């Protein structure tokens, strides 16, 4: 047995609420660190943390995503043993596919299915340049978005008014 297992066993056997809380928090921190190690593409920011917790609270606890307080939900997930690497990774992958998470400012952003459909619709009406510009603006890293947008506007304006 390692120290963490001994502490967990002592906490369970004594029923000491403070010790139980301390052991759970230490375990939760370890899970969070391992999640970050296993998911290097996860961008650590308050918005992403909040989104992960709300998603887990909705899926694992049945809590309404709009009502769940992040801190309270996280504590409940930890208390029930639902704060696991597997659950965090599953929520992260699902939210990433949906384009619901923030990405690092220097990383390309995901284009959501809704955005893809809007771009396809725009191009189907013959607005090819606008569709390309929209895609590039949505996909470009945040820090480059304004520069690309200004450049595309100048290029498209030149094409449209020649």
Residue span of the structural domain in which 16 resides: 3-97
> 90 with 123, same domain?
no
> 11 with 69, same domain?
yes
Total tally of structural domains belonging to the chain = 2
| Model confidence at 14: pLDDT above 80 | no
In contact, 77 and 61? CB cutoff 8 Å: yes
> 10 with 69, same domain?
yes
Task: Out of 58, 73, 97, pick the residue that ends a domain.
Answer: 97
- pLDDT tens string 67-87: 667 788 998 999 899 999 999
> 42 with 93, same domain?
yes
Could you give the 3-state DSSP secondary structure of residue 15?
coil
For residue 106, tell me if it sits in a domain.
no
% of residues, the chain, pLDDT over 70: 75
> 8 with 87, same domain?
yes
Q: What is the 3-state secondary structure (H, E, C) of 49-100?
A: HHHHHHHHHHHHHCCCCCCCCHHHHHHHHHHCCCCCHHHHHHHHHHHHHCCC
pLDDT at 130: 81
> 57 with 25, same domain?
yes
> 74 with 133, same domain?
no
For residue 102, tell me if it sits in a domain.
no
CA distance 155 to 109: 23
Region 31-46: what's the mean pLDDT? 95
Region 99-120: what's the mean pLDDT? 84
Q: How many CB atoms lie within 10 A of CB 18?
A: 8
> 12 with 77, same domain?
yes
Q: Bigger pLDDT: 148 or 59? A: 59
CA distance 92 to 48: 9
In contact, 50 and 102? CB cutoff 8 Å: no
For residue 122, tell me if it sits in a domain.
yes
pLDDT at 67: 65
* pTM assigned to the model: 0.70
């Amino acid at each position: 047995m390692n120290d963490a297992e001994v502490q967990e066993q002592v906490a369970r056997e004594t029923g000491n609420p403070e010790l139980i809380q301390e052991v759970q928090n230490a375990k939760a921190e370890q899970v969070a660190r391992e999640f970050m190690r296993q998911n290097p593409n996860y961008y650590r920011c308050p918005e992403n943390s909040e989104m992960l917790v709300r998603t887990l609270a909705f899926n694992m606890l049945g809590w309404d995503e709009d009502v769940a307080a992040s801190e309270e939900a996280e504590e409940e997930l930890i208390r029930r043993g639902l704060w696991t690497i597997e659950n965090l990774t599953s929520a992260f992958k699902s939210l990433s596919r949906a384009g619901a998470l923030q990405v690092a400012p220097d990383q390309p952003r995901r284009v959501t299915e809704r955005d893809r459909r809007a771009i396809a619709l725009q191009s189907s009406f013959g607005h090819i340049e606008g569709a390309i510009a929209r895609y590039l603006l949505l996909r470009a890293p945040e820090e480059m978005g304004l520069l690309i947008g200004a450049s595309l506007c100048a290029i498209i304006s030149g094409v449209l008014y020649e």
